[in-house]
Structure 1
Amino acid sequence: MRLAAKVTAGVLLLDQVSKYIVVQGMHLDQRGAIDVVPPYLNFRMAWNRGVNFGLFSGETDWMRWVLIIVALVISLWVWVWIAREPHSRRVNISAGLLVGGALGNVVDRLVYGAVADFLNMSLPGWENPYSFNVADVAIFLGAVGLVLFTGKDHRANEG
Protein backbone atom coordinates (compact mmCIF):
# COMPACT_ATOMS: atom_id res chain seq x y z
CA MET A 1 0.00 0.00 0.00
CA ARG A 2 2.87 2.33 0.81
CA LEU A 3 4.35 1.64 -2.64
CA ALA A 4 1.04 2.50 -4.32
CA ALA A 5 0.95 5.80 -2.41
CA LYS A 6 4.51 6.67 -3.47
CA VAL A 7 3.77 5.87 -7.11
CA THR A 8 0.53 7.89 -6.94
CA ALA A 9 2.37 10.91 -5.52
CA GLY A 10 5.21 10.57 -8.03
CA VAL A 11 2.89 10.38 -11.03
CA LEU A 12 0.79 13.29 -9.81
CA LEU A 13 3.90 15.42 -9.26
CA LEU A 14 5.50 14.48 -12.61
CA ASP A 15 2.26 15.14 -14.47
CA GLN A 16 1.61 18.53 -12.91
CA VAL A 17 5.25 19.69 -13.17
CA SER A 18 5.45 18.66 -16.84
CA LYS A 19 2.21 20.52 -17.59
CA TYR A 20 3.40 23.61 -15.77
CA ILE A 21 6.75 23.67 -17.58
CA VAL A 22 5.34 23.06 -21.04
CA VAL A 23 1.99 24.86 -20.92
CA GLN A 24 2.93 27.86 -18.82
CA GLY A 25 6.73 27.98 -18.79
CA MET A 26 7.11 27.40 -22.54
CA HIS A 27 3.80 29.20 -23.22
CA LEU A 28 2.42 26.33 -25.28
CA ASP A 29 -1.07 27.53 -24.41
CA GLN A 30 -0.30 30.68 -26.44
CA ARG A 31 2.04 29.23 -29.08
CA GLY A 32 -0.08 26.18 -29.87
CA ALA A 33 2.79 24.01 -31.15
CA ILE A 34 6.49 23.41 -30.52
CA ASP A 35 8.48 20.90 -32.59
CA VAL A 36 10.81 19.04 -30.25
CA VAL A 37 12.14 16.11 -32.33
CA PRO A 38 9.91 16.23 -35.40
CA PRO A 39 8.03 14.20 -36.36
CA TYR A 40 8.60 11.79 -33.48
CA LEU A 41 7.95 14.12 -30.54
CA ASN A 42 6.12 17.43 -30.69
CA PHE A 43 4.21 19.55 -28.24
CA ARG A 44 0.71 20.33 -29.54
CA MET A 45 -1.66 22.11 -27.17
CA ALA A 46 -5.07 20.55 -26.79
CA TRP A 47 -7.64 21.25 -24.10
CA ASN A 48 -9.56 18.02 -23.63
CA ARG A 49 -13.00 18.52 -22.09
CA GLY A 50 -13.92 14.85 -22.49
CA VAL A 51 -12.18 11.53 -21.91
CA ASN A 52 -9.75 9.78 -24.28
CA PHE A 53 -9.68 11.30 -27.76
CA GLY A 54 -12.27 13.86 -26.65
CA LEU A 55 -15.07 11.32 -26.19
CA PHE A 56 -17.99 12.68 -24.16
CA SER A 57 -16.63 16.18 -24.51
CA GLY A 58 -19.00 19.02 -24.14
CA GLU A 59 -18.81 22.67 -23.43
CA THR A 60 -21.21 22.35 -20.52
CA ASP A 61 -19.86 22.77 -17.02
CA TRP A 62 -21.90 19.86 -15.66
CA MET A 63 -19.97 17.38 -17.88
CA ARG A 64 -16.73 18.62 -16.34
CA TRP A 65 -18.09 17.83 -12.87
CA VAL A 66 -19.42 14.44 -13.97
CA LEU A 67 -15.96 13.50 -15.27
CA ILE A 68 -14.33 14.74 -12.06
CA ILE A 69 -16.72 12.66 -9.94
CA VAL A 70 -16.26 9.55 -12.12
CA ALA A 71 -12.46 9.84 -11.88
CA LEU A 72 -12.61 10.30 -8.11
CA VAL A 73 -15.00 7.37 -7.62
CA ILE A 74 -12.82 5.06 -9.73
CA SER A 75 -9.69 6.22 -7.90
CA LEU A 76 -11.34 5.67 -4.52
CA TRP A 77 -12.58 2.22 -5.58
CA VAL A 78 -9.07 1.19 -6.72
CA TRP A 79 -7.56 2.60 -3.52
CA VAL A 80 -10.02 0.74 -1.26
CA TRP A 81 -9.54 -2.46 -3.27
CA ILE A 82 -5.75 -2.26 -3.02
CA ALA A 83 -5.92 -1.54 0.74
CA ARG A 84 -8.23 -4.44 1.60
CA GLU A 85 -5.67 -7.20 1.15
CA PRO A 86 -1.99 -7.58 0.28
CA HIS A 87 -1.13 -7.42 -3.41
CA SER A 88 2.03 -7.94 -5.39
CA ARG A 89 4.51 -5.17 -6.06
CA ARG A 90 3.37 -4.99 -9.70
CA VAL A 91 -0.27 -4.58 -8.69
CA ASN A 92 0.62 -1.81 -6.22
CA ILE A 93 2.65 0.00 -8.89
CA SER A 94 -0.18 -0.40 -11.41
CA ALA A 95 -2.75 0.93 -8.94
CA GLY A 96 -0.50 3.89 -8.12
CA LEU A 97 -0.06 4.68 -11.81
CA LEU A 98 -3.81 4.60 -12.45
CA VAL A 99 -4.77 6.65 -9.40
CA GLY A 100 -1.95 9.18 -9.84
CA GLY A 101 -2.87 9.71 -13.49
CA ALA A 102 -6.56 10.06 -12.72
CA LEU A 103 -5.85 12.60 -9.99
CA GLY A 104 -3.55 14.55 -12.31
CA ASN A 105 -6.35 14.96 -14.82
CA VAL A 106 -8.79 15.85 -12.02
CA VAL A 107 -6.47 18.66 -10.94
CA ASP A 108 -6.50 19.97 -14.54
CA ARG A 109 -10.28 19.93 -14.69
CA LEU A 110 -10.46 21.81 -11.39
CA VAL A 111 -7.79 24.39 -12.30
CA TYR A 112 -8.26 24.86 -16.06
CA GLY A 113 -11.74 23.47 -16.67
CA ALA A 114 -10.23 20.90 -19.08
CA VAL A 115 -7.32 18.47 -19.24
CA ALA A 116 -4.10 19.94 -20.66
CA ASP A 117 -2.82 17.56 -23.35
CA PHE A 118 0.42 18.43 -25.10
CA LEU A 119 2.46 15.34 -26.04
CA ASN A 120 2.16 14.40 -29.69
CA MET A 121 4.04 11.58 -31.37
CA SER A 122 3.99 11.02 -35.11
CA LEU A 123 6.00 9.18 -37.76
CA PRO A 124 7.46 10.28 -41.09
CA GLY A 125 4.55 10.44 -43.50
CA TRP A 126 1.92 10.17 -40.75
CA GLU A 127 0.83 13.04 -38.53
CA ASN A 128 -0.98 11.98 -35.38
CA PRO A 129 -3.87 14.38 -34.76
CA TYR A 130 -4.12 13.56 -31.04
CA SER A 131 -2.24 14.84 -28.02
CA PHE A 132 -1.94 13.30 -24.57
CA ASN A 133 -0.13 13.91 -21.28
CA VAL A 134 1.86 12.09 -18.59
CA ALA A 135 -1.33 11.30 -16.65
CA ASP A 136 -2.86 9.61 -19.71
CA VAL A 137 0.20 7.37 -20.11
CA ALA A 138 0.08 6.48 -16.40
CA ILE A 139 -3.64 5.67 -16.55
CA PHE A 140 -3.11 3.42 -19.57
CA LEU A 141 -0.11 1.60 -18.05
CA GLY A 142 -1.87 1.26 -14.70
CA ALA A 143 -5.03 -0.19 -16.24
CA VAL A 144 -3.05 -2.67 -18.36
CA GLY A 145 -0.97 -3.63 -15.32
CA LEU A 146 -4.04 -4.25 -13.19
CA VAL A 147 -5.51 -6.47 -15.91
CA LEU A 148 -2.26 -8.41 -16.37
CA PHE A 149 -1.07 -8.70 -12.77
CA THR A 150 -4.19 -9.26 -10.67
CA GLY A 151 -5.62 -12.61 -9.75
CA LYS A 152 -4.65 -15.46 -7.47
CA ASP A 153 -2.43 -17.14 -10.06
CA HIS A 154 -0.24 -14.03 -10.39
CA ARG A 155 0.10 -13.49 -6.63
CA ALA A 156 0.99 -17.13 -6.07
CA ASN A 157 3.75 -16.96 -8.70
CA GLU A 158 5.28 -13.83 -7.19
CA GLY A 159 5.29 -14.97 -3.59
Structure 2
Amino acid sequence: MSPARSGLLAALATLLLDQASKLWLYFGTDLVMTQPWRLAPFADFVVVWNRGVSYGLFQQEGGLGRWVLVAVSLVAAVGLSVWMVRAGSRLLAVALGLIVGGALGNAIDRAAYGAVFDFVHLHAGRWSWYVFNVADAAIVAGVVGLILDSLRPAGRTPQTEASGDEGRPQA
Protein backbone atom coordinates (compact mmCIF):
# COMPACT_ATOMS: atom_id res chain seq x y z
CA MET A 1 0.00 0.00 0.00
CA SER A 2 1.36 3.43 -0.91
CA PRO A 3 2.18 5.96 1.83
CA ALA A 4 -0.62 8.24 0.63
CA ARG A 5 -3.21 5.46 0.88
CA SER A 6 -1.92 4.48 4.32
CA GLY A 7 -2.26 8.08 5.47
CA LEU A 8 -5.74 8.40 4.02
CA LEU A 9 -6.78 5.17 5.72
CA ALA A 10 -5.38 6.43 9.06
CA ALA A 11 -7.27 9.73 8.67
CA LEU A 12 -10.54 7.98 7.81
CA ALA A 13 -10.22 5.40 10.60
CA THR A 14 -9.42 8.13 13.13
CA LEU A 15 -12.35 10.27 12.04
CA LEU A 16 -14.81 7.36 12.09
CA LEU A 17 -13.63 5.99 15.45
CA ASP A 18 -13.65 9.45 16.99
CA GLN A 19 -17.13 10.36 15.83
CA ALA A 20 -18.58 6.89 16.55
CA SER A 21 -17.24 6.92 20.13
CA LYS A 22 -18.58 10.42 20.78
CA LEU A 23 -21.99 9.77 19.26
CA TRP A 24 -22.38 6.47 21.10
CA LEU A 25 -21.32 7.84 24.49
CA TYR A 26 -23.35 11.03 24.21
CA PHE A 27 -26.53 9.81 22.53
CA GLY A 28 -26.42 6.04 23.09
CA THR A 29 -25.74 5.92 26.82
CA ASP A 30 -26.73 7.73 29.99
CA LEU A 31 -23.17 8.95 30.65
CA VAL A 32 -24.32 12.57 30.89
CA MET A 33 -26.68 11.71 33.77
CA THR A 34 -24.60 9.06 35.56
CA GLN A 35 -21.00 10.26 35.19
CA PRO A 36 -18.31 9.57 36.12
CA TRP A 37 -18.01 5.98 34.94
CA ARG A 38 -15.06 4.30 36.64
CA LEU A 39 -13.20 2.20 34.06
CA ALA A 40 -10.13 1.50 36.21
CA PRO A 41 -8.57 3.01 39.35
CA PHE A 42 -6.83 5.50 37.05
CA ALA A 43 -9.44 6.11 34.31
CA ASP A 44 -12.99 7.43 34.11
CA PHE A 45 -15.45 8.41 31.42
CA VAL A 46 -16.83 11.90 32.05
CA VAL A 47 -18.48 14.57 29.91
CA VAL A 48 -16.47 17.75 29.33
CA TRP A 49 -17.26 20.32 26.65
CA ASN A 50 -13.99 21.96 25.60
CA ARG A 51 -14.57 25.35 23.98
CA GLY A 52 -10.84 25.94 23.59
CA VAL A 53 -7.94 24.03 22.10
CA SER A 54 -5.55 21.53 23.67
CA TYR A 55 -5.50 21.52 27.47
CA GLY A 56 -8.45 23.91 27.45
CA LEU A 57 -6.35 26.86 26.26
CA PHE A 58 -7.95 29.80 24.42
CA GLN A 59 -11.51 29.17 25.61
CA GLN A 60 -14.04 30.66 23.17
CA GLU A 61 -17.42 31.70 24.50
CA GLY A 62 -18.68 33.52 21.42
CA GLY A 63 -19.69 32.33 18.00
CA LEU A 64 -16.82 34.09 16.25
CA GLY A 65 -14.16 32.25 18.24
CA ARG A 66 -15.90 28.93 17.57
CA TRP A 67 -15.88 29.46 13.81
CA VAL A 68 -12.30 30.74 13.82
CA LEU A 69 -11.23 27.49 15.50
CA VAL A 70 -13.25 25.47 12.96
CA ALA A 71 -11.61 27.37 10.10
CA VAL A 72 -8.10 26.95 11.56
CA SER A 73 -8.74 23.20 11.97
CA LEU A 74 -9.93 22.87 8.38
CA VAL A 75 -7.03 24.89 6.94
CA ALA A 76 -4.58 22.78 8.98
CA ALA A 77 -6.25 19.56 7.80
CA VAL A 78 -6.01 20.63 4.16
CA GLY A 79 -2.35 21.64 4.48
CA LEU A 80 -1.42 18.45 6.31
CA SER A 81 -3.36 16.39 3.74
CA VAL A 82 -1.28 17.87 0.93
CA TRP A 83 1.87 16.98 2.87
CA MET A 84 0.45 13.48 3.55
CA VAL A 85 -0.19 12.82 -0.16
CA ARG A 86 3.41 13.83 -0.95
CA ALA A 87 4.95 11.88 1.95
CA GLY A 88 7.76 9.55 0.98
CA SER A 89 7.38 7.16 3.91
CA ARG A 90 4.47 5.24 5.33
CA LEU A 91 5.31 6.38 8.89
CA LEU A 92 5.15 10.04 7.88
CA ALA A 93 1.89 9.57 5.94
CA VAL A 94 0.19 7.66 8.76
CA ALA A 95 1.34 10.22 11.34
CA LEU A 96 -0.10 13.02 9.22
CA GLY A 97 -3.28 11.00 8.64
CA LEU A 98 -3.79 10.62 12.40
CA ILE A 99 -3.45 14.38 12.87
CA VAL A 100 -5.78 15.15 9.94
CA GLY A 101 -8.44 12.70 11.19
CA GLY A 102 -8.23 14.13 14.70
CA ALA A 103 -8.42 17.72 13.51
CA LEU A 104 -11.48 16.94 11.39
CA GLY A 105 -13.16 15.03 14.23
CA ASN A 106 -12.78 17.95 16.61
CA ALA A 107 -13.81 20.45 13.92
CA ILE A 108 -17.04 18.50 13.38
CA ASP A 109 -17.78 18.74 17.12
CA ARG A 110 -17.13 22.48 17.14
CA ALA A 111 -19.33 23.06 14.11
CA ALA A 112 -22.17 20.86 15.39
CA TYR A 113 -22.12 21.61 19.14
CA GLY A 114 -19.98 24.72 19.60
CA ALA A 115 -17.43 22.73 21.62
CA VAL A 116 -15.44 19.51 21.50
CA PHE A 117 -16.83 16.52 23.41
CA ASP A 118 -14.04 15.11 25.61
CA PHE A 119 -14.67 12.05 27.76
CA VAL A 120 -11.54 10.15 28.86
CA HIS A 121 -10.10 11.26 32.21
CA LEU A 122 -6.84 9.73 33.43
CA HIS A 123 -5.75 10.26 37.03
CA ALA A 124 -3.67 8.77 39.85
CA GLY A 125 -4.05 9.88 43.44
CA ARG A 126 -4.07 13.67 43.42
CA TRP A 127 -2.59 13.83 39.91
CA SER A 128 -5.12 14.46 37.14
CA TRP A 129 -4.51 14.56 33.40
CA TYR A 130 -6.69 16.64 31.15
CA VAL A 131 -9.86 15.10 29.70
CA PHE A 132 -9.48 14.04 26.07
CA ASN A 133 -11.09 12.03 23.25
CA VAL A 134 -10.06 9.71 20.42
CA ALA A 135 -9.22 12.65 18.13
CA ASP A 136 -6.89 14.15 20.74
CA ALA A 137 -5.15 10.80 21.29
CA ALA A 138 -4.70 10.39 17.53
CA ILE A 139 -3.22 13.89 17.22
CA VAL A 140 -0.71 13.12 19.98
CA ALA A 141 0.16 9.77 18.35
CA GLY A 142 0.57 11.58 15.02
CA VAL A 143 2.96 14.12 16.53
CA VAL A 144 4.97 11.25 18.05
CA GLY A 145 5.07 9.69 14.57
CA LEU A 146 6.31 12.97 13.07
CA ILE A 147 9.09 13.12 15.65
CA LEU A 148 10.08 9.50 15.02
CA ASP A 149 10.07 10.08 11.27
CA SER A 150 12.29 13.14 11.67
CA LEU A 151 14.81 11.09 13.69
CA ARG A 152 15.16 8.38 11.05
CA PRO A 153 18.40 8.57 9.11
CA ALA A 154 18.05 9.76 5.54
CA GLY A 155 18.04 6.80 3.16
CA ARG A 156 20.95 6.18 0.87
CA THR A 157 20.16 5.93 -2.81
CA PRO A 158 20.53 2.51 -4.47
CA GLN A 159 23.09 3.96 -6.93
CA THR A 160 25.35 5.17 -4.08
CA GLU A 161 25.10 1.85 -2.21
CA ALA A 162 25.93 -0.21 -5.31
CA SER A 163 28.92 1.85 -6.41
CA GLY A 164 30.57 2.17 -3.02
CA ASP A 165 31.21 5.88 -3.71
CA GLU A 166 29.46 7.22 -0.59
CA GLY A 167 32.07 9.85 0.18
CA ARG A 168 32.96 11.06 -3.32
CA PRO A 169 30.91 13.67 -5.21
CA GLN A 170 29.06 12.44 -8.27
CA ALA A 171 30.02 13.96 -11.65
If the length of structure 2 is used for normalisation, what is the TM-score? 0.82
Deviation larger for 48-57 or 21-30: 21-30
Question: Structure 2 CA distance, aligned partners of 1:104 and 1:119?
Answer: 16
- Does structure 1 conserve the Cα–Cα contact (< 8 Å) formed by 2:10 and 2:97? yes
Question: Structure 2 CA distance, aligned partners of 1:155 and 1:141?
Answer: 22
Structure-2 residue corresponding to 1:76: 78
User: Structure 2: where are the runs of 5+ without partners?
Assistant: 159-171
Structure-2 residue corresponding to 1:18: 21
* 1:3 partner letter: S
Q: Which has the higher contact order (CA 8 A, sep 6+)?
A: 1
- Does structure 1 conserve the Cα–Cα contact (< 8 Å) formed by 2:85 and 2:93? no
Structure-2 residue corresponding to 1:47: 49
Structure-2 residue corresponding to 1:90: 91
- Does structure 2 conserve the Cα–Cα contact (< 8 Å) formed by 1:11 and 1:100? yes
Question: Structure 1 CA distance, aligned partners of 2:63 and 2:95?
Answer: 31
* 1:89 partner letter: R
Structure-1 residue corresponding to 2:155: 156
- Identity rate of aligned residues, in percent? 42
Task: Map 1:2-151; keep pairs closer than 5 Å.
Answer: 2-37=5-40, 39-84=41-86, 86-123=87-124, 125-128=125-128, 130-150=130-150
Question: Structure 2 CA distance, aligned partners of 1:83 and 1:129?
Answer: 34
- Does structure 1 conserve the Cα–Cα contact (< 8 Å) formed by 2:84 and 2:97? no
User: Structure 1: where are the runs of 5+ without partners?
Assistant: none
How many residues of Structure 1 are paired with residues of Structure 2 in the alignment? 154
- Does structure 2 conserve the Cα–Cα contact (< 8 Å) formed by 1:87 and 1:155? no
Structure 1 residues 34, 127: CA separation in 2 closer, same or farther (over 3 Å shift)? farther
Query: Of the two, which has the highest radius of gyration?
Result: 2
* Superposed structure 1 runs of 4+ greater than 3 Å apart: none
Q: Secondary structure at the match of 1:128?
A: strand
* 2:142 partner letter: G
Shift of 1:36: 1.8
* 1:56 partner letter: F
Shift of 1:20: 1.4
- Does structure 2 conserve the Cα–Cα contact (< 8 Å) formed by 1:88 and 1:155? no
Structure 1 residues 41, 24: CA separation in 2 closer, same or farther (over 3 Å shift)? same
Question: Structure 1 CA distance, aligned partners of 2:153 and 2:74?
Answer: 27
If the length of structure 1 is used for normalisation, what is the TM-score? 0.88
Q: Secondary structure at the match of 1:18?
A: helix
Deviation larger for 126-135 or 93-102: 126-135
Structure 1 residues 79, 155: CA separation in 2 closer, same or farther (over 3 Å shift)? farther
